[in-house]
Chains A and B, each alone.
Chain A
Amino acid sequence: MQARSEEELVEELKREHSDLLVEAVVHRSKRVSIVAKREKLLELARLLRDKYSFTHPVSAGAIDYIKEGKMQMIYYLMNPESRFMLMLRVDLPRDNPKMPSMTQIWEAMSFHEREAWEMFGIDFEGHPNLTHLLLPPDWRGGYPLRKDFKGEGIAP
């Protein structure tokens, strides 16, 4: 597989698979961001892994946009050949954040998805072991990294 540059990848994705994605941009050199359609996410992910050989999962995390009423799940992926960071994003509604689990594609996303599950309340369908990772097993305090979490601010 020939290594593609950032621009080549974005153009090729836009040209051939425009039905799978909402947006694809090159932020700066080595940073590519793709916003996927939620229902086509698995398809796009499988394509990225198999065709574009983004086989090296880096991390995943979410961000809570409380004003827009959405949450964004970001998967950080890397191609071991071309070595730029691909951010695969998917927008989720804030009141029902549900999405297919990426552990079916990248096994190593397991920990990161468990973290996003407990910190943001994103429900991953098809995750083999969706239990608490960092928080205690009897945690009932809500989702800490959401913006409406009533945590303590900077102590006086």
Chain B
Amino acid sequence: MSLLKKLVRPFFIVAPYVARSSQTVKYPDERLVFSERFRGRHRLDLDKCIHCGLCARICPCASIVLVPVEGREGKYPQIDYGTCSLCGLCVDACPRGALTMTDFVEFSAYKRSDLVYSPERLAEVPDIKEVLPMLKRRIRPVLTDKEMKYEVVERL
């Protein structure tokens, strides 16, 4: 008898799942809002940088190189996102807080050379609407006792 119960019970557990809300994030249409500490693309504050080169020294992937910038003195970090692992050690090492990390993750490019971000390019983060024109809403996971849902934070 208990065998029969065990055979039948899974049906009653699985069947309600069909009615539950799906967990898929429909990415180009909607995008998660990442947490504050999220380690995405860097942003470089050119005015704060003191050209110490600690970021380049600590980078485990050797993807930071110091290059000169037109119209400014000293050398500034240039990051190759083809090798960067977004570990954030450079941000930790930065003594003046010139390097910070944003929640921008849309890196993909057609050429490998496009992944090398010059200091000027690092200084500004593009608006998300430029990169993802089809983005309709930003969502956030919300955990209730029974299930995980996504709630819409902002409609674009």
* Interface size range of chain A in the complex: under 10
A155: min CB distance to chain B, Å = 5
Beta-carbon nearest neighbor of B65 in chain A: A156
Chain B residues in 8 Å Cβ range of A156:
62
Q: Is residue A154 within 8 Å, beta carbon to beta carbon, of the partner chain?
A: yes
User: Once A and B bind, how many residue pairs between them come within 8 Å at the CB atom?
Assistant: 4
**Chain B contact residues, majority secondary structure:** loop
Complex alpha-carbon distance, A111 and B132, angstroms: 50
Chain A residues in 8 Å Cβ range of B62:
154-156
**C-beta contact mask, A117-156 vs B, less than 8 Å → 1, else 0?**
0000000000000000000000000000000000000111
Chain A residues in 8 Å Cβ range of B83:
155
Chain B residues in 8 Å Cβ range of A154:
62
B83: min CB distance to chain A, Å = 8
Beta-carbon nearest neighbor of A154 in chain B: B62
* Interface size range of chain B in the complex: under 10
Interface residues of B in 60-81 (CB under 8 A from A): 62
Complex alpha-carbon distance, A7 and B62, angstroms: 46
Beta-carbon nearest neighbor of B60 in chain A: A154
4 example contacts (A-B, Cβ-Cβ < 8 A) are as follows A154-B62, A155-B62, A155-B83, A156-B62
B101: min CB distance to chain A, Å = 23
B112: min CB distance to chain A, Å = 14
A7: min CB distance to chain B, Å = 40
Beta-carbon nearest neighbor of B63 in chain A: A155
Complex alpha-carbon distance, A156 and B62, angstroms: 6
Beta-carbon nearest neighbor of A155 in chain B: B62
The 4 nearest A-B residue pairs measured at CB: A155-B62, A154-B62, A156-B62, A155-B83
Complex alpha-carbon distance, A155 and B83, angstroms: 10
**C-beta contact mask, B67-100 vs A, less than 8 Å → 1, else 0?**
0000000000000000100000000000000000
A76: min CB distance to chain B, Å = 27
Complex alpha-carbon distance, A154 and B62, angstroms: 7
Chain B residues in 8 Å Cβ range of A155:
62, 83
Complex alpha-carbon distance, A82 and B148, angstroms: 45
Complex alpha-carbon distance, A155 and B80, angstroms: 13
Complex alpha-carbon distance, A137 and B74, angstroms: 50
A130: min CB distance to chain B, Å = 35
A154: min CB distance to chain B, Å = 5
Complex alpha-carbon distance, A156 and B83, angstroms: 11
Interface residues of A in 13-34 (CB under 8 A from B): none
B81: min CB distance to chain A, Å = 15
Complex alpha-carbon distance, A58 and B139, angstroms: 47
Beta-carbon nearest neighbor of B83 in chain A: A155
**C-beta contact mask, B135-156 vs A, less than 8 Å → 1, else 0?**
0000000000000000000000
Interface residues of B in 31-63 (CB under 8 A from A): 62
